Amino acid sequence: MGGLPRWHILSGIMATRQAQVLGRWALAPAVTVLAAWSFVPLALTIYFAFLRYNLQDPDNTGWAGFSNFYYFFKDPYFVKDLINTVLLVAGTIVTTVVGGTLLALLLDQPFWGRGIVRLLMISPFFVLPTVSALVWKNLIMHPVFGLFAGIQRFFGSHEPLDWFGRLPLFSVGIVVSWQWLPYAALILLTALQSLDEEQKDASAMDGAGPLSYFRYIVLPHLARPITVVILIETIFLLNTFAEIKVGGIGGIAGNLTYLVFSQLNDATDVGMAAAGGLVAVVLANVVSAFLVRLVGKNLEA
Amino acid sequence: MKLRHTFLTACAVFALGGIAQAADVTLTIATVNNGDMIRMQKMTDDFTATNPGIKLNWVTLEENDLRQKVTKDISTKGGQYDVLTIGMYETPIWGKKGWLVPLAGIDDPADILPAVAGGLSYDGKLYAAPFYGESSFVMYRKDLMAKAGLKMSDTPTWDEIITAADKMTDRANGVNGICLRGKAGWGENMAFLGTMANSFGARWFDENWHPQFDQPEWKAAITTYLKVMKDDGPAGASGNGFSENLALFQSGKCGMWADATAAGSFVIDPKASKNAADVGFTIAPDKGFGKRANWLWAWALAVPAGSQKVEAAQKFIGWATSKHYGELVAAKEGWANVPPGTRTSLYNNPEYLKVPFAAMTLASMNAADPMHPTAKPVPYTGIQFVAIPEFAGIGTKVGEIFSSALAGQITADEALAQAQTYTTDAMTKAGYIK
Amino acid sequence: MARRQSPRRTLLITIVAWTIGLLMFFPIFWTAVAAFKSESDAYSLPQTVLSTPWTFENFGIVQDRSDYFRYVFNTTVIVVLSTLLGLMFAIPAAWSMAFAPTAQSRSSLSGRQWLAIIFSGLVICFLGLYFTDWKPSNALVGFALLLIFVVPGSLWAWSQNTSGTLLWMLSTKMMPPAGALIPIYLIFNRNGLVFKDWGWINLSDYNLIDSFWGMVPLMTLLNLPIIIWMLFTYFKEIPVGILEAARMDGASLWNELFRVLTPMALPGIASTCLLNIILAWNEAFWSLNLTNKYAAPLSFFISEYSSPEGQFWAKLSAASIMAIAPILVIGWFSQKQLVRGLTFGAVK
């Protein structure tokens, strides 16, 4: 599109009043449902957060002031789960972006059976989170019958590592990274393939080494797709739930989503759960304000 | 386009069908995915043959999920289920709130074991009919005991159990001396730890509802538990609940296993268990405080208040908890698979008493006293639970804390301190501690 | 460079790439192997993978025990209907943003009017609370929220400029489900916030929990921001000149939208659908929380196997394979389009 913003070009052509009005109305349904979806539950959550409301004791409901927040912050699990949330998101993103870049560079080379390797690689992305949690936890990382334990025993260890018990967050990190690595790798690969041949050849002519080629040609080219990968992964990883619930580590190394779930489902305390939900919303908004600005810059172009 | 239209219509009709019922009565039954319940689902032809107007629709859920979903549904009067599978914890609380319909049409109510009937009643009225009842006991491998040169006592103490576990443990051959629950949940690890603490003289709350995790009894119980699990327990114990331990025991990885008496029929089943012939049973251990580590529990069927299908629901419950159902299972699958622990008549049946775990189940259930669960006085009833609505949340959180300790994330002292803080806060918030 | 490689290098890369590819796929392969073994063999797999007999019985057991086909049907209904519904909202919105964008935020209301709307909403709430002795009823709360939040909220979002609207839509996807779980549960529930006996109308026979009426719109809303964004990036690439030419020929806006634009955007729409299908298929949080049976998708089906009685790995593996096989095949056949779509226009 060049330097001129798109709407300047467009406005010359089609800024008829009819198009403008129709555009407004075409946008209205989507905006309305999304507004309802994002504002109504949020508003109700705010309302519940100030209520003393235990599902098991509905007759004893009333205003609670800030006590829900007080007790939520005082819960020994709050800080722990907050840190877990951040660690899980950050760790997975770093793993998948770095791993994805390396994989993309590898797959960009010509070799035999590229199509099949691509298929094998992308497969984990299609696996249901509940399935991957159960499969990894039981078949692979189980300390007695699992594959890793079998390997460890083969090498003579009598006490194989209890992955989900000893390193719960790390293990879930592996599972989640396994699901998201294909995504990062394939997007970055697509981006690499769009790097035109001339650029590659030119840098080869200049006698640039592979490292400086990567540093000055490839990385800048990948900046945009990497931002997209980070954005999409953050959206989904902040709310990792199935892996933690089904993996059974909610009590050992849960995240904020699980903590809120547990407040509602185990303690049946709507007030506390709503307070926790609001904390999660604030966290997500801090992250999203930052990310959306980052991505917004990239999208305008 | 036309095809798509037809498809949409079909879907809409199907979805509506979920809301508006046909003329026949369809009962939606929420149940737990335990073996006895799964077996019941296969037996229902017997019921539908005599009650052709009633259709049964099963919602089978894992134990924790079931509790969460049923609790949310009944407390918001959601009415998704016509028959609920609940336990001794929920029944009196919900009965008191008027959320359950007092049961009628139960087959010979006087025959139900008094302790079980008492735990499922409020104000003298039965609110849930027991499908099976259980206590806890110790299952052990006779062959491994003999190999270790030991003989299991009929009245074991914790010290004897731990000595035996130490001697049986042979990690090089994949044998763990003892398997105990570690998976977080008030009905999972806290069911076991609660009874173990009782036998160590501990209690959840003192007479003024102050939590007691800062007392030496709890410390002794937790330290012993963590030590024996570290020395003799299986790897990954913090993820092991009833099912996981059952799988371990069946595949010969455990020397002893202290858990529900309902496991009896599964560990002596030669099709599922490698060592079915070598399994022995003994009563739960004590520590000299006059209380054994027995719990008392029953999975029971109840009808939520406000249901429009009370009559059909009660008919079904009557069938499922009847003596006739027991005989049906006995005829098809053998006496060992009859739902245990609910009826006196079953334990007077000489055929049933031939089952290896039958007598021990009854003895264990009789040893449990929900009215006086602890050595010191307490303001609550219930053995492995505290019969107040807040307990589900507190018990689960404390279970998570102890599960973390078992996984080695925190020490025993940290765990007890966290449990004390959290429980104090929760009880203050709920208004018990003034 | 790169295109003229020595065969030895190609061989090396081939070996490395295949190793990594196989490693990535290995957990799925391993599950498939366990699915064809008997229970007790599944527990001793690493040692005896080849020597033990193969069996198909697990698939039959799973079908018997959990009625797999019901869940496949439920998943298909939710996925297909939510995708279609999503497109109905997303195509006009994406068209509008791509071809009739607004440069400046054109607030249709002045600041004073905004204040008036919010203030009057608050006053109505206050009056409502006052007349109900400060015991807010659910109906009142719902009505008040509608007034205070949704009306000004949509007006605000509507009056933003195009990129503002787009980013706002994306940010609704950031909203953690944990924050919305309680209200949604109570809104969907019979005798909750909506479906109950209101006095003048009795809605207590209806509820949205565990029904398609709830799950389909919910799934649409969850993925709508992503659908709109993807379609927008596709529409943006369609040369404006073509639409202009159509306009010169006297095509109405309707014709422009459906005769000219939609056919050109079909590949984009197709890959958007694919992505939505995969996201909806794999959704777990809401499925696990809001369904039990009648509208329970495959996520729920698998969670039933998280802790059944005793030995269950072979059954778990069979169930896992059954749950992922359909989407895996769809994904394999469409991965080229899918990946291109997933880049969200970040790669040209």
Residues 6+ apart with CB under 8 A from B98: B305
Neighbour count for residue B223 (Cβ, 10 Å): 16
- Rounded Cα–Cα distance for residues B23 and B81 (Å): 18
Q: Which residue has the higher pLDDT, C262 or B363?
A: B363
Predicted pLDDT at B16: 45
CA distances from B116 to B111, B198, C200 (A): 11, 20, 45
Q: Which residue of A has its CA nearest to B184?
A: A251
Predicted pLDDT at C106: 55
Predicted pLDDT at A12: 46
CB contact under 8 A, C148 and A43: yes
Q: Which two tokens stand for residue B258?
A: 């202290």
- Residue ranges per structural domain of chain C: 1-66+305-334
- Based on the domain organization, do A152 and A173 belong to the same domain? yes
For B155, phi then psi, to 5°, come to -130, 75
Predicted pLDDT at B307: 85
B180-201 residue pLDDT tens = 999 998 988 999 999 999 999 9
Map residue B133 onto helix, strand or coil.
Answer: strand
Scanning B178-217 for CB atoms below 8 A from A yields 183-184, 186
CB contact under 8 A, C346 and A191: yes
Give the torsion through C-alpha atoms of B284, B287, B288, B294, to 10 deg: -30
Q: Which residue has the higher pLDDT, C102 or B295?
A: B295
* Residue A93 clears pLDDT 90, i.e. is over it: yes
Decide if A181 contacts A95 (C-beta within 8 A): yes
Global pTM?
A: 0.87
**Residue C232: exposed, middle, or buried by beta-carbon count in 10 A (0-12, 13-18, 19+)?**
buried
State the pLDDT confidence band at A2, using cuts at 50, 70 and 90: very low
- Based on the domain organization, do A58 and A131 belong to the same domain? yes
**Residue B215: exposed, middle, or buried by beta-carbon count in 10 A (0-12, 13-18, 19+)?**
middle
Q: What secondary structure, in 3-state letters, does C91-146 show?
A: HHHHHHHHHCCCCCCCCCCCHHHHHHHHHHHHHHHHHHHHHCCCCCCHHHHHHHHH
Q: Is A108 on the interface with C (CB under 8 A)?
A: yes
B2-134+297-353 is classed CATH 3.40.190.10? yes
- Rounded Cα–Cα distance for residues C290 and C285 (Å): 9
Decide if C292 contacts C189 (C-beta within 8 A): no
Which of A185-189, C202-206, C253-257 shows the lowest per-residue confidence on average (mean pLDDT)?
Answer: C253-257
Chain C residues close to B244, C-beta within 8 Å: 307
Chain B residues close to C185, C-beta within 8 Å: 72, 76
Scanning B275-314 for CB atoms below 8 A from A yields none
Place of tokens 């008040």: C144
E strand or H helix at C156: helix C151-158
Which of A78-82, B273-277, C344-348 shows the lowest per-residue confidence on average (mean pLDDT)?
Answer: C344-348
Using alpha carbons, select from A140, A146, A184 the residue that is nearest to residue C343. Answer: A184
Predicted pLDDT at C138: 58
Q: Which two tokens stand for residue A104?
A: 């993309």
E strand or H helix at C228: helix C212-236
Using alpha carbons, select from C140, C21, C79, B360 the residue that is nearest to residue A47. Answer: C140
**Residue C318: exposed, middle, or buried by beta-carbon count in 10 A (0-12, 13-18, 19+)?**
buried
Mean pLDDT (whole number) for A259-275 = 89
Q: Which two tokens stand for residue A1?
A: 């599109």
* Residue A16 clears pLDDT 70, i.e. is over it: no
CB contact under 8 A, B401 and A76: yes
- Rounded Cα–Cα distance for residues A132 and A163 (Å): 15
Predicted pLDDT at C147: 66
- Based on the domain organization, do A208 and A282 belong to the same domain? yes
Neighbour count for residue B368 (Cβ, 10 Å): 24
E strand or H helix at B132: strand B129-141
CB contact under 8 A, B393 and A268: yes
- Rounded Cα–Cα distance for residues A79 and A241 (Å): 18
Which of A129-133, A287-291, B201-205, B369-373 shows the lowest per-residue confidence on average (mean pLDDT)?
Answer: A287-291
For an interface test with B, the pick among A166, A265, A270 (most B C-beta atoms closer than 10 Å) comes out as A265
Q: Which two tokens stand for residue C79?
A: 């996925």
A49-58 residue pLDDT tens = 988 888 888 8
How many structural domains are present in chain A?
Answer: 2
Chain B residues close to C192, C-beta within 8 Å: 76, 78
State the pLDDT confidence band at C107, using cuts at 50, 70 and 90: low
Decide if A41 contacts C179 (C-beta within 8 A): yes
Q: What is the CATH number of domain B135-295+369-429?
A: 3.40.190.10
* Residue C44 clears pLDDT 90, i.e. is over it: no
Nearest to C288 among A18, A232, A245 (CB): A245
Q: Is C18 on the interface with B (CB under 8 A)?
A: no
Chain A residues close to B186, C-beta within 8 Å: 266
CB contact under 8 A, A76 and B408: no
* Residue B423 clears pLDDT 70, i.e. is over it: yes
- Based on the domain organization, do A171 and A231 belong to the same domain? yes
- Based on the domain organization, do A36 and A134 belong to the same domain? no
Measured over the CA atoms of residue B141, residue B143, residue B144 and residue B146, the dihedral's sign is positive
Predicted pLDDT at B19: 45
Chain B residues close to C65, C-beta within 8 Å: 38
For C296, phi then psi, to 5°, come to -80, 125
CB contact under 8 A, A23 and C150: no
Using alpha carbons, select from C50, C66, C55, C46 the residue that is nearest to residue C314. Answer: C55
Domain stops at, among A9, A33, A49: A49
Predicted pLDDT at B223: 96
Predicted pLDDT at A239: 86
Q: Is A223 on the interface with C (CB under 8 A)?
A: no
Predicted pLDDT at C209: 87
- CATH classification at residue A156: 1.10.3720.10
| Beta pairing, strands B121-122 & B125-126 | antiparallel
**Average pLDDT of chain B, as a whole number:** 89
- Rounded Cα–Cα distance for residues B211 and A91 (Å): 38
CB contact under 8 A, B239 and A165: yes
* Residue B390 clears pLDDT 70, i.e. is over it: yes
Mean pLDDT (whole number) for C306-313 = 71
Q: Is B28 on the interface with C (CB under 8 A)?
A: yes
Place of tokens 């927008």: C232
Exposure string of C282-310, with b = 16+ CB inside 10 Å and e = fewer, is bbbbbbbbbbbbbbbbbbbbbbbbbbbbb
3-state helix, strand, coil in chain C (%, to 5): 70, 0, 25
- Based on the domain organization, do A43 and A60 belong to the same domain? no
Q: Give the type of residue at B103.
A: L
Predicted pLDDT at B2: 47
- Rounded Cα–Cα distance for residues B272 and B263 (Å): 12
CA distances from C155 to A31, A152, C108 (A): 9, 61, 8
Mean pLDDT (whole number) for C18-31 = 92
- Rounded Cα–Cα distance for residues C176 and A235 (Å): 9
- Rounded Cα–Cα distance for residues C91 and B95 (Å): 53
Q: Give the type of residue at A54.
A: N
| Beta pairing, strands B254-260 & B125-126 | unpaired
Which of A273-282, B165-174, B324-333, C157-166 shows the lowest per-residue confidence on average (mean pLDDT)?
Answer: C157-166
Neighbours of chain A (3+ CB pairs under 8 A): B, C
Measured over the CA atoms of residue A68, residue A73, residue A79 and residue A83, the dihedral's sign is positive
Q: Which residue of B has its CA nearest to C189?
A: B78
Decide if A183 contacts A233 (C-beta within 8 A): yes
Which of B175-179, C25-29, C309-313 shows the lowest per-residue confidence on average (mean pLDDT)?
Answer: C309-313
CB contact under 8 A, B397 and A57: no
Chain C residues close to A195, C-beta within 8 Å: none
State the pLDDT confidence band at B227, using cuts at 50, 70 and 90: very high
Measured N-to-C along each axis, helices C111-131 and C138-145 cross at an angle, to the nearest 10 degrees, of 180
- Based on the domain organization, do A106 and A179 belong to the same domain? yes
User: Where would I find the beta strands (DSSP E) of B215-324?
Assistant: 254-260, 279-283, 296-302
Q: Which domain holds residue A147?
A: 51-300
* Residue C253 clears pLDDT 80, i.e. is over it: no
- Residue ranges per structural domain of chain B: 2-134+297-353, 135-295+369-429
B52-89 residue pLDDT tens = 889 998 888 888 889 889 998 898 888 889 999 999 99
| Beta pairing, strands B54-61 & B121-122 | unpaired
Decide if A225 contacts C347 (C-beta within 8 A): yes
Residues 6+ apart with CB under 8 A from C202: none
* Residue A17 clears pLDDT 90, i.e. is over it: no
- Rounded Cα–Cα distance for residues C156 and C164 (Å): 11
User: Where would I find the beta strands (DSSP E) of B147-268?
Assistant: 176-179, 254-260
Q: Which residue of B has its CA nearest to C294?
A: B18
* Residue B226 clears pLDDT 90, i.e. is over it: yes
Using alpha carbons, select from C247, C240, C184 the residue that is nearest to residue C214. Answer: C184
* Residue B13 clears pLDDT 50, i.e. is over it: no
For A51, phi then psi, to 5°, come to -115, 145
Q: Is A265 on the interface with B (CB under 8 A)?
A: yes
For an interface test with A, the pick among B397, B413, B422 (most A C-beta atoms closer than 10 Å) comes out as B397
State the pLDDT confidence band at B17, using cuts at 50, 70 and 90: very low
Chain C residues close to B34, C-beta within 8 Å: 309
- Rounded Cα–Cα distance for residues B158 and C261 (Å): 78
Chain C residues close to A131, C-beta within 8 Å: 31, 302, 320, 323-324
CB contact under 8 A, B8 and C77: no
Q: Is A250 on the interface with C (CB under 8 A)?
A: no
Q: Which two tokens stand for residue C105?
A: 């935020």
- Rounded Cα–Cα distance for residues A114 and A133 (Å): 28
